[in-house]
Structure 1
Amino acid sequence: MNFECAAIVLSARRYGEGGAVVHLFTEEHGRIAGLVRGGSSRRQAALWQPGNLILARYASRLSDQLGHLSGEMVQETAVRLLDRPLQLALVQAAAELTDAALPDREPHPDFFLRTIRDLTAFCVLADPAPVVDYVRWEIALLTTLGYGLTLNSCAVTGEIENLAYVSPKTGRAVSENAAGKWADRLLHLPVYLRPDGDDEGVGDPVLWSQGLTLTGVFLSRHLFGSRHRPVPASRERLEARIRAMVEAMSDTDEGDRLP
């Protein structure tokens, strides 16, 4: 089995004397793993950073055998974000989630192209940080793996306006009027995920946190909980970082109100 294709680096771990086992996400072959000779050396380490887009060359004698990998850089990601820690956290979470969630060698071409587009956005968009793009990417991941959310109409009334919540059981939107006394048991639906929301609130950490809480419930319960595995640590750190931003904003507002 031999091929050459564009690939996103998902992870790399040291193997043996200077080698590395690298996981890639490709358009035609899905998530694949390969052995890179010298992959953990100083000369090659930068190439195999999670989030990088590379031209990968893969060779193996048998289709179910761990093949050998080599590659050339197409687009650096991690190095470009060393001075932007929030964007770097988005890249790390996206790479680790993809690595942990996707089954081996199952192609998802549309999601592959979506991931390349969003990784590029994480690199080039600085203010506000593209956290909303990341939340939408997580929803696309859930949809790709069969856990899609229905956010375009109310599950109770069918209306498409005044959507404010999501049922944690069904993943369906609920309007503010239909929520009634159950509102405190529902998840908040941030405005940028509503059909008529467009890009409202894209720079608001409070709404970022609501979006991550929403997707986090379904990642934890359906995607990883069903396999008795935790949500990847980088994703947990990202959500904690956003929560800390919200708390800092709250402390500042409270301080401004003090006499």
Structure 2
Amino acid sequence: MQWTDQAIVLGMRRLGDSSAVLELMTAKRGRHLGVVRGARSRRLAPMLQPGNRVEATWRARLDEQLGLFTIEPLTMRAAKLIERPLSLFALQVLAGHLGLLAERESHPELHGAVDSALDSFAESPGPSALAIAGFVARFELAFLNESGFGLDLSRCAVTGTTEGLVFVSPRTGRAVSGPAAAGYEDRLLPLPRLLFGQHGANDDRRAIDEAFRLTGHFLDRHIYQPRALAEPSARRELLTWIGRELAGSEPRPGLNGG
């Protein structure tokens, strides 16, 4: 058995004195593990850092075996990503969530979105805190959907209208319009405009808090709790650094430079 694919390095763990089990998010084959011999060598160690884009060739006698990876570098962006705490914690959040996907299940949209975002994160000066926050929140929404727990934010769960949607049911994950929510507002979650690339002037912090509160609620309910996991510390650190940059940094571009 053999294949070659582009991939994002998610992480690795030591195996013996010089080898490692490498975890990749591949473009076509999803999350995949394999052994890399000599992973701690001067040549290989730099290219096996999380966030790098590599070309991976996997070989095994049988498909169900762990197999061996041969790795070639494509985009060495890990060093750039760790220069800025915000991009480092964003990388850790993204890689951590991708690492919860079932092995060898294809998720090309998640791979493509993260791969493009990491290119943007590694640029200088890099995207704004708001742009990074918006991407991570939308990624978490997409990750929930790919995991089988998608939210329906397109129409009101009560009336079916597609207008005036301002809340989300914490139980069903469906949107609720303002009139339909009358009297129940305190039991519902705000529908974050940031998830749709919208927010009012001077409300960046509120928009971010609402977005991460919504995705965090459903991640905890459907992903963390069933696995007996706590919220990743990197997610909390990401929010901390977003707040710091909003409070004191100079303006930065969006993910696409705008």
TM-score by length of 2: 0.84
Comparing 162-171 and 231-240, the one that deviates more: 231-240
Q: Identical aligned pairs, as a percentage?
A: 40
Specify the alignment match of 2:55 in structure 1. 55
After TM superposition, give the deviation of residue 240 of structure 1 in Å: 4.7
After TM superposition, give the deviation of residue 149 of structure 1 in Å: 0.9
Specify the alignment match of 1:221 in structure 2. 221
**Paired residues for 1:194-213 under 5 Å:** 194=196, 198-200=197-199, 204-213=204-213
SS in 1 for 2:44: coil
SS in 2 for 1:154: coil
After TM superposition, give the deviation of residue 150 of structure 1 in Å: 1.0
C-alpha change, 1:82 and 1:245, in structure 2 (3 Å) is closer
CA-to-aligned-CA distance 1:96-131 (integer Å, 9 cap, x gap): 1101x2101111223322222232333344234421
Comparing 61-70 and 117-126, the one that deviates more: 117-126
**In 1, Cα distance between the equivalents of 2:245 and 2:180?**
32
SS in 2 for 1:9: strand
SS in 2 for 1:7: strand
C-alpha change, 1:123 and 1:156, in structure 2 (3 Å) is farther
Q: What amino acid is aligned across from residue 168 of structure 2 in structure 1?
A: V
Q: Does 1:69 align with 2:65?
A: no
After TM superposition, give the deviation of residue 243 of structure 1 in Å: 6.2
**In 2, Cα distance between the equivalents of 1:31 and 1:16?**
23
After TM superposition, give the deviation of residue 3 of structure 1 in Å: 1.3
Contact 1:192 1:201 in 2 (8 A): no
SS in 2 for 1:229: coil
CA-to-aligned-CA distance 1:54-98 (integer Å, 9 cap, x gap): 111111122111111121221233211233211221111101110
After TM superposition, give the deviation of residue 48 of structure 1 in Å: 1.3
After TM superposition, give the deviation of residue 132 of structure 1 in Å: 0.3
RMSD: 2.4
SS in 2 for 1:20: strand
Specify the alignment match of 2:139 in structure 1. 137
C-alpha change, 1:201 and 1:4, in structure 2 (3 Å) is farther
**In 2, Cα distance between the equivalents of 1:215 and 1:80?**
28
After TM superposition, give the deviation of residue 241 of structure 1 in Å: 4.1
Specify the alignment match of 1:256 in structure 2. none
**Paired residues for 1:5-20 under 5 Å:** 5-20=5-20
CA-to-aligned-CA distance 1:187-221 (integer Å, 9 cap, x gap): 22221235xxx443598132112111111111111
Contact 2:6 2:27 in 1 (8 A): yes
Contact 2:133 2:242 in 1 (8 A): no
SS in 1 for 2:22: strand
**In 1, Cα distance between the equivalents of 2:73 and 2:149?**
33
After TM superposition, give the deviation of residue 146 of structure 1 in Å: 1.1
**Paired residues for 1:70-149 under 5 Å:** 70-99=70-99, 101-124=100-123, 125-128=126-129, 129-149=131-151
Contact 1:27 1:113 in 2 (8 A): yes
**In 2, Cα distance between the equivalents of 1:15 and 1:122?**
31
TM-score by length of 1: 0.84
**In 2, Cα distance between the equivalents of 1:68 and 1:114?**
27
Unaligned runs of 5+ in 2: 249-258
- Between 1 and 2, higher relative CO (CA 8 Å, sep ≥ 6) is seen in 2
C-alpha change, 1:156 and 1:72, in structure 2 (3 Å) is same
**In 2, Cα distance between the equivalents of 1:242 and 1:6?**
30
Aligned pair count?
Answer: 244
Q: What amino acid is aligned across from residue 134 of structure 1 in structure 2?
A: V
C-alpha change, 1:39 and 1:217, in structure 2 (3 Å) is same
Specify the alignment match of 2:37 in structure 1. 37
Comparing 35-44 and 160-169, the one that deviates more: 35-44
Aligned with 2:165 (options 163, 166, 172): 163
Unaligned runs of 5+ in 1: 250-259
